[in-house]
Structure 1
Amino acid sequence: MNNYIPERAMFIFAHPDDIEFSVAGTAAKWASHGCENTYVVITDGNVGSHEPGMTREQIGQIRRQEQAAAAKVAGAANCIFLGFDDGSLEPTLTLRKKLVKLIRKHKPNAVVCGDPNMFFRGERLNHPDHRAAGRAALDAVFPASEMRLLYPEFEAEGITPHKVNFVYVVTDENLNHYEDVSESLDTKWLALKAHKSQIGDKDYSDRLRDRAATIGKQVGLAYAEAFRRFTVTPLPQQNGEKSA
């Protein structure tokens, strides 16, 4: 099912630019083939600046604007900000409930998120917000989003339980799924460029291309993004699924 294109997908990540650095190739590819992508950005990245005089409010607003622009470049249908503070994210029940409501409302077939158990990325430490966001996303997907008796108050708004089909976890371990992003790698770079407050004048195009080439080489693709994919609810055998 490497050619599977979801009808609807939700990308749940901690910070503005997390999607662009990691999975925007997959997001842009799916969008170009008709997938309705919803980005959920949990924090505003409002401590993500070393610039003297910059306030949390200012950087938070800048980063929202940059993320909205990046989402537009990659063809996302929705870009939702939850407004949590950067640097202190926890996988709380409050956050889980917000994510469950969004999953039930937008009804994604696929949810893409980070690995809650990944403390290291190669030679670098992984941000604790990334782990917290991954934990919150997975806890919201299963079983919370599909349990009718959990958060019944949502039904008064016409928001009903929903079963997600697949979860795509961004990780370095136990990889079992590779998305061919040869057609969308340039779009990924254009989306990342929207995050001017973070990358400045640096050219990350070679870095993105080299990483995608390294991943792709493992499975005979020119460029790829890798995931550990879980089936939560199998697709019906006759579902008319889209292919790339």
Structure 2
Amino acid sequence: MKGESMLVESEINRVLVVTAHPDDVDFAAAGSVALFSDRGVQVTYLLVTDGDAGGNERELDHAGMAELRRSEQLAAAKAVGVTDVRFLGYADGTVVPTLDLRRDIARVIRQVRPDLVITHHPDRNYEFVAPSHPDHRAVGGAALDAVYPDARNPYAFPELLQQEGLEAWTVREVWLNGGSTPNHWVDVTDAMDRKLAALQSHVSQVAHVEGFADFVRSRFAAWAQQAGFGEGRYAEAFQVVPTA
């Protein structure tokens, strides 16, 4: 690792990754997740939607696409050692950062009690538009609000404590992906094959893309160059938000 993370590796024992759609975590952070899994870190995926509006040809209805994409995400998670995958079931393409969404994310934070949350950057990236899908920005904003102040505040969403017994929890750090100002890079060279395997599990999304593996390798090699890791290395990039 290189950059602004305040947490040392030994302090990260539980990680929650909050994303909008199936495949988001794999593009952004599957290499880092694989490395976490290698050292016994408990990683949970929380997907706000089932990706029911994904796909390039309308061969399936929304329910069929959602079922397919859930199965693809479970396979992708397995490729990097993750077995705890949760879906909130919001409609793909319509997510906004509501109080209900904040509560639903805060609930899982209190259940999982992570040291680190990884999620989308809530701001639009004007240098590279793909990470700035409206759902991504909405989920990133709601996840940050769920981290601070909701999950840590025992007065926020009192039903979580009073009806579900979920005590307040303070996440120590958030890593945002997809922004234009990363300040933390993870060398994922040793996990690059597993990252690609996870991505290629999303057959409905990537099978039609010619030269997909080469595209992925070139993109993450560029992050490694920016981080100063050198030739032949691959990196994932994040913006660190200290929260404690």
Q: TM-score, normalised by structure 2?
A: 0.90
**Structure 1 stretches lacking a partner, 5+ long:** 234-244
Greater shift, 183-192 or 113-122, is seen at 113-122
Greater shift, 208-217 or 159-168, is seen at 208-217
Whether contact under 8 Å (1:118, 1:126) holds in the other structure is yes
**Structure 2 stretches lacking a partner, 5+ long:** 3-7
C-alpha deviation, 1:49, in angstroms: 2.4
C-alpha deviation, 1:124, in angstroms: 4.8
Whether contact under 8 Å (1:141, 1:164) holds in the other structure is yes
SS of 2:190 mapped into structure 1 = coil
Which residue, 161, 164, 177 being the options, matches 2:184?
177
Q: How has the CA–CA distance of structure 1 residues 124 and 81 changed in structure 2, closer, same or farther, with 3 Å as cutoff?
A: closer
1:239 aligns with none
Task: Decide which structure has greater helix share.
Answer: 2
1:210 aligns with 218
Q: Which runs of 4+ in 1 moved over 6 A?
A: none
Whole-Å separation in 2 of the counterparts to 1:146 and 1:67: 29
SS of 1:167 mapped into structure 2 = strand
C-alpha deviation, 1:169, in angstroms: 0.5
Say whether residues 1:24 and 2:30 are aligned partners.
yes
Greater shift, 93-102 or 124-133, is seen at 124-133
Whether contact under 8 Å (1:189, 1:204) holds in the other structure is no
Which residue, 79, 87, 102 being the options, matches 1:81?
87
SS of 1:158 mapped into structure 2 = coil
Identity of aligned residues (%): 36
Partner amino acid, structure 2, of 1:204: F
Q: List per-residue Cα deviations over 1:126-163 (Å, max 9, x = no partner).
A: 31111111111111000111001112322343311100
Whether contact under 8 Å (2:125, 2:180) holds in the other structure is no
Say whether residues 1:72 and 2:78 are aligned partners.
yes
C-alpha deviation, 1:115, in angstroms: 0.9
Whether contact under 8 Å (2:125, 2:178) holds in the other structure is no
Q: TM-score, normalised by structure 1?
A: 0.90
2:171 aligns with 164
Whole-Å separation in 2 of the counterparts to 1:166 and 1:77: 23
1:220 aligns with 228
What RMSD over aligned residues (CA atoms) do the two structures have, in Å? Answer: 1.7
